[in-house]
Structure 1
Amino acid sequence: MSVGMAAPRSAYACDADRSRGRLFDEPPSKTRSAFRRDCDRVIHSTAFRRLKHKTQVFVFHEGDHYRTRLTHTLEVAQIARALARQLGLDEDLTETLALAHDLGHPPFGHAGERALDACLKEHGGFDHNAQALRVVTSLEHRYPAFEGLNLTWESLEGIVKHNGPLTTRDGAALGRYRERGIPSGISDYIGSHDLELWSFASLEAQVAAIADDIAYDAHDIDDGLRAGLFRVDDLKIMPLTAGMIADIDRRYPDLDDDRRGAELVRELISYLIGAVIAEARRRLEIARPETAEDVRHYGDGLIAFSPPAAQAEAEIKAFLKHRMYRHARVMRVMGDAESILFDLFARYQKSPGDLPAEWLPPLGAERETETARARRIGNFIAGMTDRFALTEHQRLFDSTPDLR
């Protein structure tokens, strides 16, 4: 089959007609599949629109051409759909999960997540996947019959488990959750709607997860070059990108650095997508799943980089960590951003009346616990855009850091 052609639908793809359904029953749409309906609901959500003004690496006012959470999300969706098309998966479910994967991120990128996690340390911490689940199951208020978006089981499963199982079959937390346990936003929810945290997610979810890695690697290189944090030739330190740069220079000997960088990013995306397709087909040939349930119960992930691509991808991440994420300029701005969220959280705790009326407990409600109050404040801050957080800080404090 030509790489440019879509694969026929695979037997192990998720099937919208066989979905496990929604927590709250709804009549089916006359014009859309269940997964297309999920995707449309994510796109029309308030949380999705707010991604436009949430930091990826550079704060929104540093320049119009840097990635935001929204542009990053759209790029993840494009890569994910390309992978799904080649593997015969459900593109609507894949797109849903790609578009929803960052809905739980707070303002100011990973700096904001670190700050909220510290603020909520005594109340279960902060986890962006758990927050994404909160967004789509309770924090969005758009429909008269239920809170949240009432997405299908398959979409919720993918949001929570796209990076793999969270627990063993007997409930013991795995991976990064081993030390602190499953976040309350997830553990509380599965009490009423079991997402089978012990199993792998669908191939569509696994594709969305690896598309996120591809987009991060390629586009953070693009943004780092644009910001002047490193030059194209600095990327020759890695064998993969060195070979690509040498090939670009042979084909286009007089190309300026901007276009050299753009061509490198294009080549890198193509290489990583091809490596994932080849490795996925190899693993699927071994596993021979016949249904989506076989994928969930296989016991290992089936969407991955080939070993050489995995090594190259790890080298790219290490380069970006050293040359971009820990660059003095980025670290200074992110340190100031953390201080803004620390200030806001402390202020709302001390003076609850500074919160908008819709974020105050209902009049006459039972006295809420300290944890419930802290989580309510955390939910409010997590939903902020960068510029709203700055505006709030300017409203409540005499001095606000200039994040430039």
Structure 2
Amino acid sequence: MPSMPLAFPAPLAPFASKAEATRGRLHPEEESSGRTPFQRDRDRVLHTVAFRRLKHKTQVFVFHEGDHYRTRLTHSLEVSQIARAMARTLKLDEDLAEVVALGHDLGHPAFGHTGEDVLIEMMEGAGGFDHNAQTLRLLTKLERQHGAYPGLNLTWEALEGTVKHNGPLIGEHRTKDKPLPLAIEEYAEKHDLWLHAWPSLEAQLAALSDDIAYNNHDCDDGLRAGLITFDEAMDVPLIGPALHAAQKDWPGEPREVQIAEAVSSLIGRMVADVLGETRARLEALNPQSADDIRLAGRATAAFSEGMTEELKVLRGFLFERVYRHYKVNQVRSQAKRIVRDLFVLFRDEPEVLPPAWFERQRGESMQKRKRVICDYIAGMTDRYAIHEHKRLFDLSRSFI
């Protein structure tokens, strides 16, 4: 029986990424008759072990500090919702925006940026560590769901968008002045992801959705956790005016309701700002294809200049009052010791590794052994890392 034709969405903007025009997959395969390639990409990410683990990985607060604070999983879902809404407004491919949003944080280790800092330290001279490069390793190597190839075999557009959603990684327009992570360099040798160019507009929107989500939910979580007070936040750009408006509009409601109203309003304001600035840049560029976006020489999706300046002040406030609050620092200090202790133990006594991981590093050079250990620890959740540290370093628990 002949396969049904692919069912694609309504006509997209001419500069949108089109699933029917995808550059394909590294390992060719027959596409589904009921889902577009980007829908399949999204579904493959959702079914990964790495995605499930995000529910117990730190955003700001370690999992045991409160069930109502954000985790990497809830953050990724919020980013996905914002990215999909903006993509729909601009008549882009919503599924591509969603897969980049859902997959962008898969490579974060236990304890968030704190865990990453320790892995960077421990992997010095052994290829380094970068959470974005680790995401690529997961998507193309570490996750095994198919017998024919390692990884998920995502489309070129999904991998490109995930790896460089924040901008070009090489060339004159690169957004960060640091060496290309080894994992990305090695993969690019066999699958050219145009690392010199900007990603698709869908991926750019996913990156901005990440900014919108974490700035707002870190304000929300910081206020609810008592790390910052309502009065302190009232004087800060963006969140301050939103809180003033919520207090004026809902004077009789409890603080948590006013905070929720303020955050909802601020998300709407930031989304509107991105859409306005992006439309203006699209009008100036007049792109006729997705590659016109990639080769534009600058980001096409962006915050306005005014919003960018206000965000700098807000981020500075959050850094000082939330991310470096003494209570958060106390937990960060514990997290550093846990990750460092585990890495050193597995490096010096590999026989305590689980059998599958022990076999991966057996007989390898020290550099490759460290990469195996790094992959193992980077995949840990906060809960699992804490449990393993207690089991391996607390004699009273060593036989439990």
Q: Which category describes the TM-score, using the shorter chain as reference length?
A: over 0.9
Please tell me whether residue 97 in structure 1 is matched to residue 100 in structure 2: yes
1:333 is matched with which residue? Answer: 331
Question: What's the secondary structure of 1:220's corresponding residue?
Answer: helix
Letter in 2 for 1:116: L
- Structure 2 runs not aligned, ≥5 long: 1-8
Report Cα offsets for 1:138-161 as digits up to 9, x if no partner: 000111111000000001101111
Worse-matched range after superposition: 202-211 or 248-257: 248-257
2:3 is matched with which residue? Answer: none
Assess if the C-alpha contact under 8 Å between 1:7 and 1:87 holds in 2.
no
Question: What's the secondary structure of 2:238's corresponding residue?
Answer: helix
Question: What's the secondary structure of 1:13's corresponding residue?
Answer: coil
Aligned-pair distance for 1:7? 10
Question: What's the secondary structure of 2:298's corresponding residue?
Answer: coil
1:393 is matched with which residue? Answer: 389
Please tell me whether residue 46 in structure 1 is matched to residue 44 in structure 2: no
- Structure 1 runs not aligned, ≥5 long: 1-5
Please tell me whether residue 166 in structure 1 is matched to residue 164 in structure 2: no
- Within a 5 Å distance, the mapping from 1:364-403 to structure 2 comes to 367-398=363-394
Report Cα offsets for 1:1-27 as digits up to 9, x if no partner: xxxxx9962110000111000010111
2:284 is matched with which residue? Answer: 286
| TM-score relative to the length of structure 1 | 0.93
Aligned counterparts of 2:395 and 2:207: Cα–Cα separation in 1: 39
Aligned-pair distance for 1:395? 1.3
2:75 is matched with which residue? Answer: 72
Letter in 1 for 2:392: L
Assess if the C-alpha contact under 8 Å between 1:84 and 1:90 holds in 2.
yes
Aligned counterparts of 1:399 and 1:249: Cα–Cα separation in 2: 53
Aligned counterparts of 1:189 and 1:295: Cα–Cα separation in 2: 23
Aligned counterparts of 1:255 and 1:276: Cα–Cα separation in 2: 30
Aligned counterparts of 2:371 and 2:78: Cα–Cα separation in 1: 31
Letter in 2 for 1:156: L
Say if 1:362 and 1:49 are closer, same or farther in 2 by CA, change over 3 A.
closer
Q: Which of 79, 83, 88 lines up with 1:85 in the alignment?
A: 88
Q: Which of 152, 155, 159 lines up with 2:158 in the alignment?
A: 155
Aligned counterparts of 1:69 and 1:136: Cα–Cα separation in 2: 17
Assess if the C-alpha contact under 8 Å between 2:201 and 2:301 holds in 1.
yes
Letter in 1 for 2:306: P
Letter in 2 for 1:392: E
The runs of 4+ residues in structure 1 deviating greater than 4 Å are none
1:308 is matched with which residue? Answer: 306
Q: Which of 340, 346, 350 lines up with 1:348 in the alignment?
A: 346
Aligned-pair distance for 1:255? 2.3
Worse-matched range after superposition: 182-191 or 246-255: 246-255
Report Cα offsets for 1:53-84 as digits up to 9, x if no partner: 10111110111100010000000000111110
Aligned-pair distance for 1:233? 2.1
RMSD: 1.7
Assess if the C-alpha contact under 8 Å between 1:60 and 1:68 holds in 2.
yes
- Within a 5 Å distance, the mapping from 1:182-331 to structure 2 comes to 182-331=180-329
Aligned counterparts of 1:7 and 1:275: Cα–Cα separation in 2: 26
Aligned counterparts of 1:56 and 1:28: Cα–Cα separation in 2: 35
Say if 1:362 and 1:324 are closer, same or farther in 2 by CA, change over 3 A.
closer
Worse-matched range after superposition: 249-258 or 64-73: 249-258
Say if 1:206 and 1:362 are closer, same or farther in 2 by CA, change over 3 A.
closer
1:12 is matched with which residue? Answer: 15
